[in-house]
């Protein structure tokens, strides 16, 4: 199948993830909302991003902070109403920002009318909207599939005597994507939002919609019985039958026909750490972009970084969604050593991601170089932490955005915020905008550089370098990262001018590129 034309606005764009609960509180409840988002959009335009991705704001009981959807076309009162969302979309238009919303198609909330009907009438049409199985011979779950959030991926409905499948919380029953009626429902949902002015969707768990028709057991790695964190337990299995089934592409081909009518984008949360397998979800007429998550688990050394970047750049090219942080993982500053060291490394990696073909996404606070926050056990709210003894959870990367000096660092006027703010005055947007050497100002300059690369070829070359360095070239620009704690010199051949660097000022030229410890630079041939 030949590759279809993609939205021109997507090419080389920079996206920004808004974790709506923690971005900005405009109503004084202690929880971020659409009014707060509307009032802070100027920051994103000033920073230079192109796409605003908003996490779920739909009607929800909030068992998983909105990823348990009870109504895919309704706004939860916690965040505002549909008119507030319309104002956000309108303001984004004024600021030349594209709007991407988070659709959660793998599962619904237990409170969704479809599931309520499925429970009430096992013989009714909505029963087949979900995945039901009879118990195993011993009366237990039908197979060995487990939940991302701990425990079996099956819960017994005592009334009917059958189990329903849920790869996440029991409150998040999985939909049956082999049912044509489910597919028609979501075509209607996509059309609803595209008609309302949304430019694209981020598809949650895009690699898991279809399950094995026979519901076979997954193989398990040996010697993993003592794992505690549910995410570690989940990864102790080979997910041969509950994830990445080949029929998934058929769904996205149907959605692509809808999206193409609106010049809209399909962006997949594709937790697939194998490039050929990820490529199958994209193909020529599948998803426009698939996230590449290996950057969140790689070691900080040149070999690991080079391998992590090169394989998807060569195998998928401009259809990669580059990320180094999200609302689901510890922040890169923490992963890369914490404090100033972590900030230098995170910024250096960001330079490399911005230089590659594809779409780069920042997670809110990444532009500030935020570290993980300290969230006391008694204040944690993530179900991974609250339902699993010994699990840390994701709260450390979800704390409120620090905007300016004052109560709650400008996030909210409430006495208490849903999670502690967890940052310092020096971390705030206001403080960093005043400091020309701040992480925020460096990121803004990097985005300016990124926009200057639009129109470059997608061809990436990987020259030989000293073993401490990672480097690639696109057209006449070379991007290079020193992944060590010592300065390194490199003579790539020819004359070069430094146009961006993460330590010191750009501008010097000559045949030698000098890099400080953990520094990245961009050099232009001349």
Catalytic residues: 204, 269
d(CA 480, CA 501): 10
Going from the C-alpha of 446 to that of each of 16, 438, 449, 452, 473, the distances in angstroms are 14, 12, 5, 10, 17
SS3 181: helix
Going from the C-alpha of 465 to that of each of 506, 519, 520, the distances in angstroms are 21, 15, 14
Could you tell me how many helices (H) and strands (E) the chain has, helices first?
14, 20
DSSP readout, 299-352?
Answer: -SSHHHHHHHHHHHHHHTGGGEEE-S--TTS--HHHHTTSHHHHHHHHHHHHHH
User: Residues with Cβ < 8 Å from 314, sequence gap 6 or more?
Assistant: 460
What is the chain's alpha carbon radius of gyration, rounded to the nearest angstrom? 23
Cβ(282)–Cβ(315) below 8 Å: no
H-helix segments, 133-274: 180-195, 230-234, 248-261
Cβ(441)–Cβ(435) below 8 Å: yes
SS3 415: coil
d(CA 54, CA 71): 16
SS3 504: coil
d(CA 326, CA 185): 29
d(CA 24, CA 36): 5
């Amino acid at each position: 199948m030949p590759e279809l034309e993609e939205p021109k606005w997507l090419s080389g764009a920079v996206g920004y993830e808004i974790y709506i609960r923690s971005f900005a509180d405009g109503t004084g409840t202690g929880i971020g909302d659409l009014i707060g988002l509307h009032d802070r959009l100027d920051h994103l335009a000033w920073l230079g991003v192109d796409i605003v991705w908003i996490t779920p704001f739909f009607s929800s009981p909030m068992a998983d902070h909105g990823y348990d959807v009870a109504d895919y076309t309704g706004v939860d009162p916690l965040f505002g109403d549909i008119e507030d969302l319309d104002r956000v979309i309108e303001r984004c238009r004024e600021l030349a920002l594209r709007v991407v919303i988070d659709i959660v198609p793998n599962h619904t909330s237990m409170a969704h009318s479809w599931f309520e009907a499925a429970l009430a009438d096992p013989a009714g049409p909505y029963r087949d909207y979900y995945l039901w199985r009879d118990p195993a011979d011993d009366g237990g779950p039908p197979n060995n599939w487990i939940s991302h959030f701990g425990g079996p991926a099956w819960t017994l409905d005592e009334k009917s005597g059958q189990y329903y499948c849920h790869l996440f919380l029991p409150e998040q029953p999985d939909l049956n994507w082999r049912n044509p009626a489910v597919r028609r429902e979501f075509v209607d949902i996509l059309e609803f939002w595209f008609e309302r002015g949304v430019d694209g969707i981020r598809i949650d768990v895009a690699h898991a919609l279809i399950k094995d028709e026979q519901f076979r057991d997954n193989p398990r790695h040996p010697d993993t019985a003592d794992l505690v964190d549910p995410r570690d337990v989940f990864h102790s299995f080979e997910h041969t039958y509950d994830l990445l089934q080949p029929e998934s592409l058929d769904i996205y081909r149907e959605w692509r026909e809808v999206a193409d009518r609106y010049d809209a984008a399909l962006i997949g949360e594709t937790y697939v750490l194998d490039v050929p397998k990820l490529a199958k979800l994209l193909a020529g007429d599948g998803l426009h972009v698939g996230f590449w998550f290996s950057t969140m688990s790689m070691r900080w050394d040149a070999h690991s970084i080079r391998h992590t970047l090169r394989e998807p750049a060569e195998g998928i090219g401009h259809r990669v969604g580059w990320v180094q942080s999200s609302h689901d993982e510890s922040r890169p500053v923490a992963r890369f050593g914490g404090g100033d060291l972590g900030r230098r490394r995170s910024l250096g990696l960001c330079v490399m991601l911005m230089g590659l073909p594809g779409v780069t996404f920042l997670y809110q606070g990444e532009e500030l170089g935020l570290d993980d926050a300290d969230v006391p056990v008694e204040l944690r709210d993530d179900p991974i932490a609250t339902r699993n003894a010994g699990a840390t959870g994701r709260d450390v990367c979800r704390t409120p955005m620090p905007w300016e000096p004052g109560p709650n660092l400008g996030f909210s006027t409430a006495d208490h915020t849903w999670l502690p703010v967890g940052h310092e005055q020096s971390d705030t947007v206001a403080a960093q905008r005043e400091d020309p050497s701040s992480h925020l100002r460096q990121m803004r300059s990097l985005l300016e550089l990124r926009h200057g690369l639009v129109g470059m070829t997608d061809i990436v070359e990987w020259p030989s370098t000293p073993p401490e360095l990672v480097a690639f070239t696109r057209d006449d620009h070379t991007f290079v990262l020193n992944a060590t704690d010592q300065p390194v010199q490199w003579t790539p051949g020819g004359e070069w001018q430094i146009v961006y660097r993460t330590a010191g000022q750009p501008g010097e030229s000559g045949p030698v590129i000098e890099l400080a410890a953990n520094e990245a630079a961009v050099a232009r041939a001349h």
